[in-house]
Amino acid sequence: MALSRRTGHRFQASIWPGFVDAMTGLLLVLMFVLTIFMVVQFFLRETITGQENELNLLSAEIAAIAEALGLEQEKVSALNGEVGALTSTLSDTQAELMAQANLIDQLTFQRDSTQQQLVSAQAKITSFEAQVAGLLKSQ
């Protein structure tokens, strides 16, 4: 009986060191895996933070470009208004030019007509003077 008690007692005492070794190994493996996950999480967080910063910079750049586009559109609107005003002024100037050209044509026609009347009147005066001179000679 003593032999059977020692054998059973020895079997129970010998299981604990193996169990503790297995648990220690498992704990070491878990710590290693957790360390790997922490390192991976650190690098992923840095990558995401870098991308977030880059997105913020790009958003700021887009906002600046949008503002510049708005300013350019305002300039285009102002220039289109100026072109419209200049076109209107040009049309008015061309109409005035046409009116003045017509006036010049009318005045030129009047001058030519008056000049012909003057030549005709001078011819009449010359012929009248010749008649008067002829009458004076005959008296």
Indicate the pTM of the whole model: 0.48
Q: 4 lies in a domain? A: yes
Q: 55 lies in a domain? A: yes
Q: Residue 99: its pLDDT value, please?
A: 96
Q: 82 lies in a domain? A: yes
Q: 137 lies in a domain? A: no
Total domains in the fold of the chain: 1
Q: 119 lies in a domain? A: no
Q: Residue 137: its pLDDT value, please?
A: 86
Rounded-to-integer distance, Cα 14 and Cα 82, Å: 101
Q: 130 lies in a domain? A: no
Query: How far is C-alpha 107 from the geometric centre of its chain's CA atoms?
Result: 54
Q: 134 lies in a domain? A: no
Q: Which domain holds residue 35?
A: 1-99
Burial 10-43 (b: 16+ CB within 10 A, else e): eeeeeeeeeeeeeeeeeeeeeeeeeeeeeeeeee
Question: Per 3-state DSSP, what percentage of the chain is helix, strand, and coil (rounded to 5)?
Answer: 100, 0, 0
Q: 106 lies in a domain? A: no
Q: pLDDT tens, 3-27?
A: 455 555 555 557 888 899 999 999 9
Q: pLDDT tens, 86-104?
A: 999 999 999 999 999 999 9
